[in-house]
Amino acid sequence: MKFMLTFNFKPEIKGRDEAIARFKKTGGKPPAGTKLLGRWTAADFSGGFDLLESDDAKALTEFALQWSDVMQLETVPVLEDGELKEVLQRTGI
């Protein structure tokens, strides 16, 4: 299953600087059980998006815990257009 993780840096500069240092050290790689499909950071550095794939809620939680002290996070399951089309056809919408 695919998930869109939205992140925003917490307002204090110290948290942003810690997030940058942590990213430089780790590369922002997710834990085993979660595959990073793409990452985009806003040009104004206010936040960004990670597209993740996982069937393991514990791995997603672990990834969130690695960053939630320095960022506000939201993780939402997402569908690609082809998958959405299947759902729409099944439901008759």
CATH number, domain containing residue 57: 3.30.70.260
Residue 8 CA, distance from chain mean position: 11
Residue 15 pLDDT > 90: no
- Write out the E strands in 14-93: 35-41, 47-53, 71-78
**Across all residues in the chain, what is the average pLDDT?**
94
Supply the pLDDT for residue 29: 96
Domain count, the chain: 1
Residue 58 pLDDT > 90: yes
The arithmetic mean of pLDDT across residues 57-82, rounded, is 96
Domain extent at residue 19: 2-91
Q: What strands lie across the sheet with 2-9, from one edge to the other?
A: 35-41, 47-53, 2-9, 71-78
Burial of 13 from C-beta contacts in 10 A (0-12 / 13-18 / 19+): exposed
